[in-house]
Structure 1
């Protein structure tokens, strides 16, 4: 009996408070910032004192109003890759221990290259791209099950589907792959988009495993491409394990409770803004199912920073795109961004700054002179060119330019390039997973698609293509997000049409694909497009001409957005054409005489390498 009682007491002492979660789950030796904040979570874990082995220094221990958390900060400077042991003691008696690994970094990890203006980025919504492993469609540990006939439900696309179609992506001329969030999103509805994450250290099992994601990263690199992670700093999902048991009341913004953002991001820098309006934008929740994270809380900020760095090291990532960047606490997100780029000086981060004014977007780019007026620097290398997207969405339906329509929309967008500290570090696009589909807006007018894509491929910045556009996929934003996020044909067994293969494409799909592939494959090795200077000329009769040039090459782009054929004299462009007499059209291979005049078909484009 005494023996049984001893066993029970011994067992209780070890199960009364255990680290049910440890985050980050492991770390790396030799980081630029040697301080590591480790979250230990378990029932009443804060009652214990904490020590660590290997003569590692504990810099700080934070216990909050929730006794189930303890945040332990250690100094890893000069600590080699090793196995540490944390001891949790009660009255100097060890209640339990926790192993913790410091792993060795890959060689030159800190110096990793990232995406830049030499790349074309292909944007994938994984649930809608390809179902490579039907066995994980309705994983038992997650709430929402596959229901492909529901436009807003889960359809079963996964990591394996992406891996199986990397050759297709590469053939398009893409050199970087941006995948919308893959971490677990356990919402009961709409979980397929991934932006309401419930565990930011775990790949959603309906997409695969953490190991599958590592395999995706490796396979992308084998194809000579780069992998970009879609990171969310502004919010989590309401099913996040930590939201169920908050470490601190102010881990998320509370009013108390829920209050929605007013979405007025200009209040972040409006010198006349009221405090209440600014707070409502920054602290208000994006939607009721997405608790708004408080980046001004140092514990939260450290957690988000370390999670981001952990994924870079763990998955050998090549860059980030950050969702709703300008909704974050702007001082907090600046610190988050700088901490990452301090660790990885060449790492690129594109922030979603969805504004309709270039000065306001430029405010958010690293070293902005506009931000400097308010002594602010976001340290964000790349912002997304939403004004360029807006111009592309209207210009090609306007046959007559007038004062500010048609190609003047594009010209005026680039007039304001002087506002940006680095115009080559703008992510440029015609659409993405949140906007109207380009081919829907223009009713699958192939000529308009040609003009828009040729422009994206030849102006400054980093072009991004949304999956399916290259085969003519459309979708009406007015019918809901599900309609702009259709399944890629051929991604599911039994699909009648397999657009991943030449044999499976119909005539329209092949026409779109061939054009897109030829254009962006050409762009891959064109330094003059990647980093050359731009000279643009005022559109005339809705014909827009601009040049990309450096000391070695000159590319002339002419877009006739008129419904009529146009002939224009080239003498006006002498400062750019110089002594060149002709150019080879990248799209047709034909030689075009530019010595006197050029004739263009209605709604057409020329991309000429001048000889």
Structure 2
């Protein structure tokens, strides 16, 4: 029976067992983020199950001819409107369905799956995403049961995959109404409320007076204290406590929520939390939660339980927040996402992306390697705040489709903890300009990818899936790709004049069509990597390598190339700009070279 109060939880019984250990290092992980409602219902036909055997089901595999089958021209606007409407509500993905696709993720190279919030949501069509919780002690029936969560985690652990659950502390769902029944704007003053809605809010401790700030919805998302005290539209802000971080006084609500999330760690053997909207919480509240969760996790043997904080904003703000709160890594940094995407598409200087992981002292960090396990990197996600009304996936146009593998490779082999957003390995396009269109259902249903329905996309023969799996396998094998220092390398066309790859103009798309190389060095072992931002033509350039690690006349061996025919071939090290090698990178391609042995 589900507990109704945190006092109902028998922690002694829950913790009397051996728990799955934490990873040796967070930077070794490869995250995969999915929305449970949009991932799998377990009914797909012809996919490979967790053991690698062909499974049967009712939903066929998506083919090119199925693109647009939900919006055929002959059907008119009515059919297109039905497909669009389906994307605004529950589609039908479940925890049990996700469990059947863990083999798909393991074979891709995923080591940790980040699962969207799965606790019980306020009634209605608009909370399929999971961020409108009213019961923090129960799994939403749309997703399954607590036992389904426990079974998912157990199977993931058996396959070598950790599970990071997305959680919300900052707010609950639409659990009460203001008086009158409209959502007022934040003015800094509390508004009268009518009381809790019929389903209430749980655990019982959240039903006390003073649980919610009750100050209306945020209008200015960057004005303090508005963005801390205000509601996320209809989602109601929870009063977490008061005071500065060093002397913070947690509210009864924060204490109860912390205990509830400790319950889920023990109940399901979770490996980490992605903590939603940390920017919008008091830093003292985030610190209290981080301390209590880390201590609880360590007490049951999870020494490196991950707390990944969603911190929208720039790098310096994220660093200050992590240092103040004690959370482990930041996710959602707009400058990381934006610079990664536009570096590959040739519209930003590559130095801007690589500089995010340098100059640690400028943000008060005393280690050059500090960022390697403190920043989750990626470019596509489920809300794309940075894009405003122009939301679409990286592969929404021809340029993005051609360069998608290069973007995934750059993300996987540069500093940070890489995160793949579900469907990127299948080139989902997410066109439409709204959140719903970047949340397509992998299993098809009524809101499938590429404006389809009734077709699933778990295709392990897709070229991007196949090549990304090879790249992630190299990441597992080569420590430098996970833990090494990182250097953007100078290039040359003639082997005489060298310089960093730069835009030719003022940042217009397509301004940079070039080899973009970098090195990862770990324990005197250098790996040289490069992408080609030219989507149509192969590019050749002299690439600088470490002068002290290579002798003139030695060679580097190609370990990976999007031109499979050159893998295993070698290039000589020459005395140019210290030392350099001549590399050819296929159009929109990626290569990796290292010294033999």
Q: TM-score, normalised by structure 2?
A: 0.72
Name which of 105, 108, 113 aligns with 2:16. 105
2:236 corresponds to:
290
Larger mean CA deviation between 418-427 and 514-523 belongs to: 418-427
Matched length: 472
Q: Does 1:610 align with 2:565?
A: no
Name which of 128, 132, 145 aligns with 2:38. 128
Q: Aligned partners of 2:33, 2:118: CA distance in 1, in Å?
A: 13
2:328 corresponds to:
381
2:422 corresponds to:
467
Name which of 391, 406, 429 aligns with 2:378. 429
1:250 corresponds to:
210
Q: Aligned partners of 1:188, 1:498: CA distance in 2, in Å?
A: 26
Distance 1:206 1:291, change over 3 A: same
Distance 1:571 1:396, change over 3 A: closer
Higher Cα Rg: structure 1 or 2? 1
Q: Aligned partners of 2:24, 2:273: CA distance in 1, in Å?
A: 9
Name which of 237, 241, 254 aligns with 2:200. 241
Larger mean CA deviation between 417-426 and 379-388 belongs to: 417-426
Check conservation: 1:393, 1:438, Cα contact below 8 A. no
| SS in structure 2 of the partner of residue 301 of structure 1 | helix
Q: Does 1:484 align with 2:412?
A: no
| SS in structure 2 of the partner of residue 106 of structure 1 | coil
Name which of 547, 560, 583 aligns with 2:557. 583
Check conservation: 1:153, 1:192, Cα contact below 8 A. yes
Distance 1:535 1:571, change over 3 A: closer
| SS in structure 1 of the partner of residue 174 of structure 2 | coil
Distance 1:444 1:397, change over 3 A: closer
Q: Aligned partners of 2:412, 2:240: CA distance in 1, in Å?
A: 39
Q: Aligned partners of 2:28, 2:3: CA distance in 1, in Å?
A: 45
Q: Deviations over 1:52-82 (max 9, x none)?
A: xxxxxxxxxxxxxxxxxxxxxxxxxxxxxxx
| SS in structure 2 of the partner of residue 320 of structure 1 | strand
Name which of 149, 172, 190 aligns with 2:126. 190
Distance 1:148 1:221, change over 3 A: farther
Name which of 272, 275, 292 aligns with 1:319. 272
| SS in structure 1 of the partner of residue 264 of structure 2 | helix
**5+ residue gaps, structure 2:** 45-81, 176-198, 243-249, 385-390, 491-499, 503-513, 575-581
CA drift of 1:154 comes to: 0.5
Name which of 409, 412, 433 aligns with 2:355. 412
1:163 corresponds to:
99
Check conservation: 2:558, 2:591, Cα contact below 8 A. no
Q: Deviations over 1:229-254 (max 9, x none)?
A: 10111101023623899644321112
Greater relative contact order (CA < 8 Å, ≥ 6 in sequence):
2
Name which of 315, 320, 327 aligns with 1:358. 315
Name which of 138, 150, 153 aligns with 2:86. 150
Name which of 521, 526, 532 aligns with 2:484. 532
Q: Deviations over 1:470-498 (max 9, x none)?
A: 011110361x2110001114579996544
Q: Aligned partners of 1:523, 1:20: CA distance in 2, in Å?
A: 43
Check conservation: 1:263, 1:281, Cα contact below 8 A. yes
Q: Aligned partners of 1:214, 1:24: CA distance in 2, in Å?
A: 21
| SS in structure 2 of the partner of residue 193 of structure 1 | coil
CA drift of 1:409 comes to: 3.2
Check conservation: 1:128, 1:487, Cα contact below 8 A. yes
CA drift of 1:206 comes to: 1.2
**5+ residue gaps, structure 1:** 1-18, 30-101, 135-145, 265-276, 367-376, 400-404
1:83 corresponds to:
none
Distance 1:182 1:216, change over 3 A: same
Distance 1:20 1:448, change over 3 A: closer
Report matched runs for 1:318-357 at 5 Å: 318-343=271-296, 344=298, 345-355=303-313, 357=314
1:593 corresponds to:
571
CA drift of 1:262 comes to: 2.5
The Cα RMSD (Å) is 3.0
CA drift of 1:107 comes to: 3.0
CA drift of 1:382 comes to: 0.6
1:574 corresponds to:
547
CA drift of 1:282 comes to: 0.8
Larger mean CA deviation between 216-225 and 527-536 belongs to: 527-536
Distance 1:295 1:112, change over 3 A: farther
Check conservation: 1:470, 1:512, Cα contact below 8 A. yes
Q: Does 1:391 align with 2:339?
A: yes
Q: Aligned partners of 1:412, 1:128: CA distance in 2, in Å?
A: 35
